[in-house]
Structure 1
Amino acid sequence: MAAEIHSRPQSSRPVLLSKIEGHQDAVTAALLIPKEDGVITASEDRTIRVWLKRDSGQYWPSIYHTMASPCSAMAYHHDSRRIFVGQDNGAVMEFHVSEDFNKMNFIKTYPAHQNRVTAIIFSLATEWVISTGHDKCVSWMCTRSGNMLGRHFSTSWTSCLQYDFDTQYAFVGDCSGQISLLKLEQSSCSVITTLKGHEGSVACLWWDPIQRLLFSGASDNSVIMWDIGGRKGRTLLLQGHHDRVQSLCYLQLTRQLVSCSSDGGIAVWNMDVSREEAPQWLESDSCQKCEQPFFWNIKQMWDTKTLGLRQWESPRNDTDTWLTLEQHEGQRCSPPRRG
Structure 2
Amino acid sequence: MAAEIQPKPQTRTPVLLNKIEASQDVVNTAVIIPKEDGVISVSEDRTIRIWLKRDSGQYWPSIYHTMPGESSPLMSYWAIPRRQEWKCLVSLIVLEFILSEDYNKMTPAQTYQAHQGRVTVVLFVLEMEWVLSTGQDKNFTWHCSESGTQLGLYRTTAWVSGLQFDVETRHAFVGDYSGQVTILKLELDSCSLVTTFKGHTGNVTALCWDPVQRVLFSGSADHSIIMWDIGGGKGTAIELQGHNEKVQGLCYAPHTRQLISCSSDGGIVIWNMDVTRQETPEWLDSDSCQKCEQPFFWNFKQMWDSKKIGLRQHHCRKCGQAVCGKCSAKRSTIPLMGFEFEVRVCDSCHESITDEDRAPTATFHDSKHSIVYMHYEPTMGWLLTSGADKVVKVRQTRCLLRQRLDRQPNSDLFSTNWSFDQSQIFSHQIFFRVELIEGRPISEKNISWICSLIQE
In structure 2, the partner of 1:55 is 55
Contact 2:237–2:279 (CA under 8 A) maintained in structure 1: yes
- Is 1:221 the counterpart of 2:223? The answer is yes
Contact 1:285–1:293 (CA under 8 A) maintained in structure 2: no
- Is 1:146 the counterpart of 2:153? The answer is no
Cα 1:22–1:11 change in 2 (3 A) is: same
In structure 2, the partner of 1:97 is 99
The one-letter code matched in structure 1 to 2:25 is D
Q: TM-score, normalization: structure 1?
A: 0.83
Contact 2:287–2:299 (CA under 8 A) maintained in structure 1: no
**Distance (whole Å) between structure 2 residues aligned to residue 293 and residue 30 of structure 1:** 56
**Distance (whole Å) between structure 1 residues aligned to residue 329 and residue 141 of structure 2:** 44
The offset of 1:11, in angstroms, is 5.2
Query: Any gaps of 5 or more consecutive residues in structure 1?
Result: 1-9, 310-319, 335-339
**Distance (whole Å) between structure 2 residues aligned to residue 253 and residue 164 of structure 1:** 19
Query: Any gaps of 5 or more consecutive residues in structure 2?
Result: 1-9, 313-323, 332-341, 347-456
**Distance (whole Å) between structure 1 residues aligned to residue 158 and residue 140 of structure 2:** 11
Q: Deviations over 1:85-141 (max 9, x none)?
A: 112x22111000001111100112211112222211111222210011211121101
Runs of 4+ displaced beyond 4 Å: 285-297, 303-306, 320-327, 330-334
Q: CA RMSD in A?
A: 2.9
Q: Deviations over 1:151-190 (max 9, x none)?
A: 1111111111001122211000000000000111111110
Contact 1:285–1:296 (CA under 8 A) maintained in structure 2: no
- Is 1:205 the counterpart of 2:207? The answer is yes
Q: Which secondary structure state, in structure 2, belongs to the residue aligned with residue 78 of structure 1? A: strand
**Distance (whole Å) between structure 2 residues aligned to residue 84 and residue 169 of structure 1:** 21
Contact 1:135–1:157 (CA under 8 A) maintained in structure 2: yes
Cα 1:228–1:64 change in 2 (3 A) is: same
Q: Which secondary structure state, in structure 2, belongs to the residue aligned with residue 187 of structure 1? A: coil
Q: Which has the larger radius of gyration?
A: 2
In structure 1, the partner of 2:190 is 188
Contact 2:257–2:273 (CA under 8 A) maintained in structure 1: yes
**Distance (whole Å) between structure 2 residues aligned to residue 192 and residue 100 of structure 1:** 44
The one-letter code matched in structure 1 to 2:47 is T
Higher normalized contact order (CA 8 Å, seq sep 6+, divided by chain length): 2
Find 2:84's aligned residue among 66, 81, 84: 81
Higher strand share: 2
How many aligned positions are there? 311
**Distance (whole Å) between structure 2 residues aligned to residue 218 and residue 83 of structure 1:** 27
Contact 2:46–2:67 (CA under 8 A) maintained in structure 1: yes
Q: Deviations over 1:69-88 (max 9, x none)?
A: 3344311121141110112x
- Is 1:127 the counterpart of 2:129? The answer is yes
The one-letter code matched in structure 1 to 2:22 is G
**Distance (whole Å) between structure 1 residues aligned to residue 215 and residue 288 of structure 2:** 29
The one-letter code matched in structure 1 to 2:89 is G
Q: Which secondary structure state, in structure 1, belongs to the residue aligned with residue 148 of structure 2? A: coil
**Distance (whole Å) between structure 2 residues aligned to residue 295 and residue 117 of structure 1:** 49
Q: TM-score, normalization: structure 2?
A: 0.62
The offset of 1:29, in angstroms, is 1.2
The offset of 1:301, in angstroms, is 6.6
The offset of 1:148, in angstroms, is 1.4
Percent of aligned pairs sharing the same letter: 53
Pairwise mapping of residues 328-339 of structure 1 onto structure 2 (< 5 A)? 332=344
**Distance (whole Å) between structure 2 residues aligned to residue 17 and residue 49 of structure 1:** 19
Q: Deviations over 1:297-321 (max 9, x none)?
A: 4348737867227xxxxxxxxxx85
Cα 1:214–1:144 change in 2 (3 A) is: same
**Distance (whole Å) between structure 1 residues aligned to residue 162 and residue 270 of structure 2:** 21
The one-letter code matched in structure 1 to 2:17 is L
Cα 1:57–1:176 change in 2 (3 A) is: same
**Distance (whole Å) between structure 1 residues aligned to residue 245 and residue 187 of structure 2:** 37
**Distance (whole Å) between structure 1 residues aligned to residue 196 and residue 288 of structure 2:** 26
Q: Which secondary structure state, in structure 1, belongs to the residue aligned with residue 18 of structure 2? A: coil
Q: Which secondary structure state, in structure 2, belongs to the residue aligned with residue 180 of structure 1? A: strand
Contact 2:171–2:183 (CA under 8 A) maintained in structure 1: yes
Q: Which secondary structure state, in structure 2, belongs to the residue aligned with residue 18 of structure 1? A: strand
**Distance (whole Å) between structure 1 residues aligned to residue 45 and residue 170 of structure 2:** 34
